[in-house]
């Protein structure tokens, strides 16, 4: 049976992705309510994996930076500091629910090569089996412009595929995807995208969406379609609606999964998405 949005409360395994703008700076106050929603799903028995951006943005104030650095070395330094702080904030919020976080940092090469890919899968499977909540991010400290995911929407889709998740939730700054940028006249929210539906008539935003992170509607569509092609239903919605999303409420944009997903390789999917990154803006590590 093809999973539906309403099936999210009973999903066996869910990957949730949150962006930098939702958990860094003043938005760090969003971490406790985000964790509360994840803890509720965890308490229902769902295995939850969180893919969280925000390391670079979180580290910026500690390096006395007022804007996201443009050179790779400073991005890496900010990520090294910020990742530590970010995980501390998540664990502090999870302590109330008796949940332990496990940090998993990945590069594109880790998922491209068989041995590290197998190691990553085994580690996450074991963490989930121990009821640990894995928090995944791109390993920005060693990332390069040439070998990277480019944004964590792609990373989340690949992680969902790696661990055979039942659903993927991509959190954004808007409640749903729109047929055109939502500030344009006539833009309409998209409730559902059928598997294989032609989206050529829709206009999705650019890659760079704010001063602290990378991503945008276009990358969410790309990631959602990759996950859906692998049989993983995907919901795109606003970060503060995560509780309602995991309860199966009719919010956001739902990408219906392929009812007969092929047994294709993760390496092939990564290659396709790498081509998409190369064709984009050349954005720096996801952070």
pLDDT digits (tens, 9 = 90+) for 20-76: 999 999 999 999 999 999 999 999 999 999 999 999 999 999 999 999 998 889 999
More confident residue, 22 or 273: 22
Listed range (47-56, 145-154, 246-255) with the worst mean pLDDT: 145-154
Q: What is the mean pLDDT of the chain?
A: 86
More confident residue, 274 or 44: 44
For residue 287, is pLDDT > 80? no
Binding-site entries for substrate:
53, 140, 152
Question: How far apart are alpha carbons 192 and 234 in whole angstroms?
Answer: 10
More confident residue, 284 or 190: 190
Give the long-range contacts of residues 143-146, CB within 8 A, separation 24 or more. 143/76, 143/107, 143/285, 144/72, 145/72, 145/282, 145/284
Provide the token pair at 164. Answer: 């055979």
pTM more than 0.85: yes
Binding-site entries:
17, 53, 140, 152, 172-173
- pLDDT band, very low/low/confident/very high, at 273 (cuts 50, 70, 90): very low
Binding-site entries for ATP:
17, 172-173
More confident residue, 72 or 145: 72
- Domain boundaries of the chain, sorted by first residue: 5-278
Listed range (26-30, 163-167, 211-215, 283-287) with the worst mean pLDDT: 211-215
Degrees to nearest 5, angle at CA 157 with 178 and 91: 100
More confident residue, 111 or 143: 111
For residue 182, is pLDDT > 70? yes
Q: With left for phi above 0 and alpha for psi between -120 and 50, is residue 122 left, alpha or beta?
A: alpha
* Third-level CATH fold of 5-278: Carbamate kinase (3.40.1160)
For residue 275, is pLDDT > 70? no
For residue 14, is pLDDT > 50? yes
The pLDDT value given to residue 271: 46
The pLDDT value given to residue 148: 60
Residues of the chain with pLDDT > 90, as a percent, come to 67
Q: Residue range 187-201: average pLDDT?
A: 89
């Amino acid at each position: 049976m093809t999973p539906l949005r309403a099936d999210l409360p009973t999903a066996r395994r869910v990957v949730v992705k949150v962006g930098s703008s939702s958990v860094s700076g003043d938005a760090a106050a969003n971490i406790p309510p985000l964790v509360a929603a994840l803890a509720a799903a965890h308490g229902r028995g769902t295995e939850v994996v969180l893919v969280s951006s925000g390391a670079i943005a979180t580290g910026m104030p500690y390096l006395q930076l007022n804007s996201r650095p443009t050179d790779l070395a400073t991005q890496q330094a900010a990520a090294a500091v910020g990742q530590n702080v970010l995980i501390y904030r998540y664990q502090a919020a999870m302590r109330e629910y008796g949940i332990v976080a496990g940090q998993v940092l990945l590069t594109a090469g880790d998922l491209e090569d068989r041995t590290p890919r197998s190691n990553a899968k085994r580690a996450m499977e074991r963490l989930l089996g121990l009821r640990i909540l894995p928090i995944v991010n791109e390993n920005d400290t060693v990332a390069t412009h040439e070998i990277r995911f480019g944004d964590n929407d792609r990373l989340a889709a690949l992680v969902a595929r790696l661990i055979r998740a039942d659903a993927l939730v991509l959190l954004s700054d808007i409640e749903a995807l729109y047929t055109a940028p939502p500030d344009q006249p006539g833009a309409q929210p998209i409730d559902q995208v059928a598997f294989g539906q032609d989206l050529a008539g829709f206009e999705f935003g650019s890659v760079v969406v704010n001063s602290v992170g990378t991503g945008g509607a276009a990358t969410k569509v790309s990631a959602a379609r990759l996950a859906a092609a692998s049989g993983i239903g995907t919901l795109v919605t606003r970060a503060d609606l995560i509780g309602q999303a995991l309860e199966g409420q009719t919010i956001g944009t739902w990408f219906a999964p392929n009812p007969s997903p092929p047994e294709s390789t993760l390496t092939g999917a990564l290659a396709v998405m790498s081509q998409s990154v190369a064709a984009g803006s050349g954005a720096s590590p996801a952070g």
